[in-house]
């Protein structure tokens, strides 16, 4: 079941076409990576889905409600984390959340506990009484995420939540999003830094100049874009012999021997051209050839590379 569907969504800003008949479908429960270069139309799409902007053409439904016909119902279903954090002079972290709790009419009794729960969830309990302007960028991002969840929405729309974060804060954000996914939230997250989305998204859509280039489950997209797979094969024993065997296989386009993590271990990397059945046959063949296979894994391929290929191919 889809929680978001857009049909030929179009946004004109004067002569600029920010969105050009964009049709998307976000399955409930997905972590949906929304990828595109600067100016592609990511923020515009998100602003339409959160009712902040009225599209000039097409339709968008969120949780079954059309964004222009039922904006109040849409706002109840969605939490938005914008790409910038406003200025809130003098407000403390808890007051900030309390303020938004009030504006979403969370009952006073519930609000006190809710604010503390959310601060706990985003790892800011220790900053409860700190002025929001004194928080670091990463902390402000997390506070902004807590704010987006104040009315317990089904869908979270996060506009570049990882931008400006240091590597550690990125990892923490990723863990937090995993937790939210496990809580059953649907998450739409935008980025142009693709590698940071690769591991956490179940689905991705790539847009460019307001047009959808490709969308679907992350595995399927990677497969359709990348004709071959990269296999990492860890073995014990004679690496050179294993390499020679691999290179003799018709579906192996190229193979390399990498240093292993122990003296008697080696890792081989193979560019493999076959489908699932061919891969199964390769595994059988390795074992039958007496090669001491420890493990075989498909290298998670580099979304960045895919992105470059897709955008190059676009007219
Ligand atoms: N309010 C506006 N008035 C006029 N043009 C706008 C407005 N908002 C966006 N645009 C234009 O629409 C296009 C899409 O912008 P948008 O902000 O959606 O891109 P984006 O994918 O979010 O980019 P970024 O990665 O830089 O955040 C751009 O050409 C932009 O200049
Ligand atoms: Mg943007």
Residues 233, 215 within the same domain: no
Final residue of a structural domain among 165, 199, 224: 224
Q: Give residue-wise pLDDT tens across range 164-218.
A: 788 888 888 888 888 888 889 999 999 887 666 767 889 999 998 999 988 999 8
Residues 140, 252 within the same domain: no
Task: Supply the CATH number for residue 255's domain.
Answer: 3.30.70.260
Say if pTM beats, i.e. exceeds, 0.75: yes
Separation of 43 CA from ligand 1 center, angstroms? 7
The protein residue with its alpha carbon nearest to ligand 1, atom 18, reads: 41
Among the atoms of ligand 1, which is closest to the Cα of residue 207? 21
**What is the C-alpha separation between 190 and 165, in angstroms, rounded?**
15
Separation of 145 CA from ligand 2 center, angstroms? 17
Q: Give residue-wise pLDDT tens across range 244-261.
A: 999 999 989 889 998 767
Domains: count for the chain = 2
Residues 36, 54 within the same domain: yes
* Whether the Cβ atoms of residue 50 and residue 157 lie closer than 8 Å to each other: yes
277 C-beta closer than 6 A to ligand 1: no
* Whether the Cβ atoms of residue 305 and residue 286 lie closer than 8 Å to each other: no
Domain with 258, as residue range(s), is: 228-303
Residues 216, 277 within the same domain: no
Residues in the chain: 315
Residues 137, 70 within the same domain: yes
SS3 50: coil
Q: What is the rounded average pLDDT of the residues 95-117?
A: 93
Backbone angles phi, psi at 24, to 5 degrees: -130, 160
Give the closest residue to 43 by CA, choosing from 83, 85, 86. Answer: 83
44 C-beta closer than 6 A to ligand 1: yes
Among the atoms of ligand 1, which is closest to the Cα of residue 43? 22
Among the atoms of ligand 1, which is closest to the Cα of residue 210? 14
Angle at 53 between CA 47 and CA 55, to 5 degrees: 105
- What is the pLDDT confidence band of residue 159, given thresholds at 50, 70 and 90? very high
36 C-beta closer than 6 A to ligand 1: yes
pLDDT at 309 over 70: no
Backbone angles phi, psi at 280, to 5 degrees: -60, -45
**What is the C-alpha separation between 169 and 179, in angstroms, rounded?**
15
Listed in sequence order, the residues at least 6 apart from 48 whose beta carbon sits closer than 8 Å to its beta carbon are 6, 9, 11, 19, 54, 55, 60, 67
Separation of 188 CA from ligand 1 center, angstroms? 18
Give the closest residue to 165 by CA, choosing from 186, 180, 182, 145. Answer: 145
Site to probe by mutation for ligand 1, drawn from 17, 19, 36, 39 as the one with most ligand atoms within 8 Å of Cβ, is 39
- What is the pLDDT confidence band of residue 298, given thresholds at 50, 70 and 90? confident
């Amino acid at each position: 079941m889809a929680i978001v569907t857009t049909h030929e969504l179009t946004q004109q800003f004067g002569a600029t076409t920010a969105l050009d008949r964009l049709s998307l479908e976000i399955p409930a429960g997905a972590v949906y990576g929304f990828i595109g270069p600067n100016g592609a139309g990511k923020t515009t799409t998100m602003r339409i889905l959160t009712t902040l902007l009225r599209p000039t053409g097409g339709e968008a439904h969120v949780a079954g409600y059309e964004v222009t016909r039922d904006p109040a119902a849409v706002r109840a279903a969605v939490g938005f984390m914008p790409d910038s954090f406003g200025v809130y002079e003098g407000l403390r972290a808890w007051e900030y959340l309390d303020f938004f709790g009030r504006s979403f009419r969370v009952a006073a009794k519930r609000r006190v506990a809710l604010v503390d729960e959310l601060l706990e969830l985003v790892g800011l309990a220790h900053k409860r009484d700190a002025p929001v302007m004194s928080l670091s960028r990463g902390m402000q991002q997390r506070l902004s995420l807590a704010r987006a969840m104040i009315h317990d929405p089904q869908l979270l729309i996060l506009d570049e939540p990882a931008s400006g974060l240091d590597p550690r804060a990125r990892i923490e954000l990723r863990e937090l999003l995993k937790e939210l996914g496990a809580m059953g939230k649907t998450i739409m997250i935008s980025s142009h830094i693709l590698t940071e989305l690769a591991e956490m998204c179940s689905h991705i859509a790539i847009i460019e100049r307001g047009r959808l280039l490709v969308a679907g489950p992350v595995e399927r997209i990677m497969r359709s874009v990348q004709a071959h797979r990269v296999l990492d094969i860890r073995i014990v024993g004679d690496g050179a012999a294993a390499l020679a065997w691999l290179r003799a296989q018709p579906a192996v386009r190229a193979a390399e021997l990498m240093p292993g993590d122990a003296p008697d271990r080696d890792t081989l990397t193979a560019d493999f051209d076959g489908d699932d059945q061919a891969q199964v046959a390769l595994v059988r063949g390795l074992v039958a050839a007496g090669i001491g296979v420890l493990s075989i894994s498909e290298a998670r391929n580099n979304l960045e590379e895919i992105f470059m290929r897709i955008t190059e191919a676009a007219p």
